[in-house]
Chain A
Amino acid sequence: MHKILKTLFTLILFFFSPLVLAEMALNMPRGVTPISKDIYDLHMVIFWICVAIGVGVFSVMIYSLMYHRKSKGAVPAAFHEHMSLEILWAVIPFVILVVMAIPATKVLIDMHDTDDAAVTIKIVGHQWKWEYQYLDQGVQFYSNLSTPFDQIHNNVKKDPHYLLQVDNPVVVPVHKKVRFLVTSADVVHSWWVPELGIKRDAIPGFIHEAWARVQKPGTYRGQCAELCGVNHGFMPIVVQAVSDDEFNQWVAAQMKQAKQAAEASQKPLTREELMTMGKKVYENNCAACHKVDGQGMPPVFPPMRGSSVAVGHPVSRHISLVLHGVPNTAMQAFASQLSDLELAAVITYERNAWGNNTGELVQPKDVQDLRAVKKLTRKTNERRNSSNS
C-alpha cells in the first residue's frame, strides 16, 4: 500500500516537476567510446527530426480538432484529392530520410572496422554467465552474478548495484582498440554494455566481432540482452577500464593466481575447507537451476537432495557428470569452467548438504584423475577414427 501511494506521488511529480525528471535516467547514455558518442548523436538527430515532423502534423490535426467542429458550425469542404500535395508529402520525407541515412551509414562502416586491435578478448556466453578469454595474454575466467540470493528474494536490503555486479569483471586498457569476439556455448545471448556502444548477439557456431576504444577509466555495467532461458535477467556484465600499467599488473596477477590454484589442487583439504568453498561455488554455478536448497526445478532441472547421483555410488559417476555434463540436456560440462579444487569442493558440498549426509569427501586429486581418463578415451577415439578414414 505504502509503495502504491509512493508511486502515485511520483506520478504526480512526474507531470509537474522537472527536478524529478532530472534525477531519473531518461535518455541513452553518451558513453565513453567514439562509437557510443556517434550513436548518441545519431539518436538525438533522428529524435529531433521526429519531434519536428510530429509538431507539424499534430498541430494541423489539433487545429482541425479545435476549429473544424460541427458544434462550432463548421461546414465540410468538398475537396478530397490533390495530386501535387500527395507527391510533395511523399518526396519531402524521402529527402529527409536520405539526409539521415548518410551519417548513419558512415557510423555503421566505422563500427565494422575491427582492424589493428591492441587487445583481443573472446567472449563466450553460457547459460547464465560470461566467459572471457584474453587470446594474446592467455588469461581466461568466468564472470558470474555476485548479487546474493537473499537480495533477490527481498530478505535483505538491495545493494546500489543490485543485479549489475559480478565476481570477476572483464578488465580492458583505456585508449587502446579492444576487439571483442563474441560467441556462445549454448543458446543465443547478447553482450551489451550501453556505455561502450556495443551490443553483439552471441550465437552458437558463429563468432562475431565488435570493438571499443574506451576513453575514460571507470566501471561500466551491462546485461545480457537476448532471452536465454530462466536466468536471462541474472547474467550481468561489468567492464573495468584501467590504465595500461594497471592492465599489465592485472594480467600478471591473474597468471599468478592461476598458478597458485593449480598448486593448491595438489594437496588434500579438510571437510570444513571443502564445504565452505563448495557452498560458494554451488551458489554461483549450480543454484540457478538446482536451487539453493537443492530442490531443483523438475523435470528440466532435477533435484540434488537425495538424488541417485548425489548420494549414489560410485562417486566417480557424480564427478564425471559434473565434469562432462549430460548431452542434450541443460546440464553443462563444467570441466573448463571450474578448477579441480572448485569441482572437488562443490561435489563434496553436494554430497553432504541438505541432508545428503554421505560423509564422503572428494579431493582435487580425484577430479584430476577423472579428467585425465576422459581425455585419454577421447584421444584413443580420435586415433581410431583417423585410422579408419
Chain B
Amino acid sequence: MSDVIHQTADSEHHHGDHKKGILGWITRWLFTTNHKDIGTLYLILSLVMFFVAGAMALLIRAELFEPGLQFLKPNIFNQMTTLHGLIMVFGVVMPAFVGLANWQIPMMIGAPDMALPRLNNLSFWILPFAFTILSSTLFMDGGGPDFGWTFYAPLSTKYGPPSTDYMIFAIHLMGISSILGSINIIATILNLRAPGMKMMKMPIFVWSWLITAFLLLAIMPVLAGTVTMMLTDRNFGTSFFDAAGGGDPLLFQHVFWFFGHPEVYVLILPAFGVISEIIPTFSRKKLFGYDFMVYAIACIAILSFIVWAHHMFTTGIPLGAELFFMYTTMLIAVPTGVKVFNWVSTMFKGSLTFETPMLFAIAFVFLFTIGGFSGLMLAIVPADFQYQDTYFVVAHFHYVLVSGAIFSLMAAVYYWLPKWCGKMYNERLGKWHFWLTVISMNLTFFPMHFLGLAGMPRRIPDYALQFTDFNAIATVGAFIFGVSQLLFVYNIIHTIWKGKQTTAQVWEGAHGLEWTLSSPPPHHSFTTPPVIE
C-alpha cells in the first residue's frame, strides 16, 4: 500500500504530459487513468443516455396520451419500451453510480486514486461502444429488440428480430464493464483506505458501494450466461429455452431474475449510501444508527438472492415456492424499514436547512417509501395475481427508480458538484428544478397506480376507453418532467463555466475526508494519507 502512496507525482507535472490541440484533448480523455476524469466521463455518458432514454419515454407517453394509434406503430412502440428500459438501467443509473464511486471513493477513504487505474479506463471505454451497438439496432432491418427489457424467451429467441444478436453482444460488453468496475471498487476500498479508517468507520456511501460491487460480481456472470444461452438458441440450434426441443422457457425467467432481482438492488443500494451522506450534512447531526444502516444494506443484499421468483408468481411455480418467495420478499421490508426509520431519526431534532441536495434527499425518503409500500403489496402473492404485469407494477418500479435512484443521483450531483469543480451551482435554479421535477414525477407516476388497479396491462400501445383520463394526466406530467431536466443540464453547465468560487468545506454541516481537500480537489486526491483518529 505504501508504494501507491509514495508516488507523489504532482498534478502540474502530470497535466504537462499531454499534447496540445484536438489530438491532445482526445488522447487526454481517451487514455486517462485518473479517477476524477473517468468519473466525469461516466457521469457525462449517463447524462447523455438519460436524455436518449427519456426521449423514448416521451414518445411512449405521447402515443398513450389518448386511445387509438397515433404516432407509433405497435412494433416501434415495443422497441421504445425495450430500449427505454435497457438504457435507463444499464446506461443511466449504473454508469452514474460508477461515476460517483470513481469521484468519491478515493476522496472519501483518503486514497490518491483508484487501485487499478488502467482497468478503470478500460471499464469506462467499453461502454460507449456497447451503447452505440445497442442504439444502432433501431436502424437495422427488422427493427430493434421489441420484447421488453426483460427479453423473455421464446419471444426474444425464436421470435426475436435479427438485431437481437447485437443486443446480446452489447449486454456482454456492459457486463464486462460492470465486472471490471466492481473489481476495481472492491480493490480500492479494501486496500487503499487511509491508516486508521477501519471498516466500521468508512463513510456509508463507501459501504453501500462495497456491497453493491460484490452483488455485481455475483450476478453479471449469470446475465452473461443467460444471454449466451439465448445466442446459441438463436444461432446454433440449441434449445435451452425451447420446450419443443426439450428446453424450458421458464428456465429463462429463473436465470434472468436470479440476475434481475439483485440488479434492482444494484440500482438502489448506492442511492441509500448517497442519501445517508446528505441527510446528516443538512440536519447538522450524525447519521442515526450507523452500524444498523450497514447491517441493513448487507441484509438487503443477501436477501436479494432468495427473492427472485416474486417476479414470476403468475407463471405457475408450485405452491411451496410461492409461499417461500412471498415470505422472503416480505422480509425485505424489515431492513428497508430500518433504513427509513434511521433517516427520519437523523432528521429528528436536527437543525435542518433545505438546499437542493437536501430537498431531493427528503423527496427520496417520502417517495421511495411509497414505492416500498407498493412493493410490499406486490409481495402478497394472491394480490400479486391482480397487480402482476399491470401499470401498478410500472408505478411501483418508477417510484423506486425515478424518485429513488434518479433523485439520489440528482441530490448527489448538487451535493458534490461544488466540490468537484470548486464552484457553486445556482441555488434558485436548483430549487426550480427540484419542485418541477418532484411535482411532475408524481403527476406522471401516481395515476399509474390507479390504472393498474383498474386493469390496464403494461406494455400496450393502445388501451380501452376507461383508462383515458389518467393516461392523459401521466403524459402531461411526463412532458413537464422531461423539459424540467433541461434546467438541470443548464445549471450544471452554468456552474462549471460561471459559478461562484466556493470553499473547501462547501456545506456547513458536511463531515468526511473529501471536504478536507481543496475545491476542486488536487489531481491525485490524497498524495499523503490523512490520519484518522
Contact = CB atoms under 8 A, between A and B. Distances in A.
Contacts of A137: none
B316 A65 contact: no
Contacts of A197: 385-386
Interface string A94-126: 100100110011011101100000000000000
Given A81-B290, A101-B327, A204-B249, A152 B68 contact: yes
Contacts of B65: 3
A204 B472 contact: no
Interface in A41-92: 42-43, 46-47, 50, 53-54, 57-58, 60-61, 63-65, 68-71, 74-77, 79-82, 85-86, 89-90
Interface residues of A, number: 106
Contacts of A205: 243-244, 248-249
Contact of A190 (B146, B323, B389): B389
Interface string B458-474: 11111111100110110
Interface string B321-347: 011001100110111011011101111
Residues of A contacting B: mostly: mixed
Given A233-B74, A234-B462, A104 B377 contact: no
A1 interface: no
Interface stretch (B22-30, B365-373, B424-432): B365-373
Contacts of A283: none
Nearest to B469: A10
Nearest to A105: B323
Contact of B283 (A76, A109, A160): A76
Contacts of B455: 25, 29, 194, 222-223
Contact of B291 (A11, A71, A81): A81
A250 interface: no
A68 B352 contact: yes
Given A205-B243, A229-B159, A80 B289 contact: yes
A227 B382 contact: no
A357 B326 CA distance: 61
Interface string A234-265: 10000000000000000000000000000000
Interface residues of B, number: 103
B7 interface: no
Interface in B440-465: 443, 450, 453-455, 457-465
B250 interface: yes
Interface stretch (B12-20, B148-156, B204-212, B301-309): B148-156
Interface in A246-300: 297, 299-300
Residues of B contacting A: mostly: helix
A338 interface: no
Given A47-B377, A206-B316, A7 B68 contact: no
B138 interface: no
Contact of B316 (A6, A75, A208): A208
B444 to A, nearest CB: 12
A39 B383 CA distance: 5
Contacts of B249: 188, 203-206
The 6 closest A-B pairs by CB, nearest first: A205-B243, A233-B460, A208-B316, A25-B454, A50-B373, A80-B286
Given A61-B347, A164-B464, A223-B457, 12 more contacts: A54-B373, A60-B348, A61-B344, A68-B283, A86-B289, A105-B326, A107-B382, A163-B462, A201-B314, A230-B78, A233-B74, A299-B141
Interface of B: 65-70, 74-75, 78, 141-142, 146-148, 152, 154-155, 158-159, 161-162, 243-244, 248-250, 283-292, 314-316, 319, 322-323, 326-327, 330-331, 333-335, 337-338, 340-342, 344-354, 362, 365-366, 369-370, 373, 376-377, 380-383, 385-386, 388-390, 443, 450, 453-455, 457-466, 469-470, 472-473, 475-476
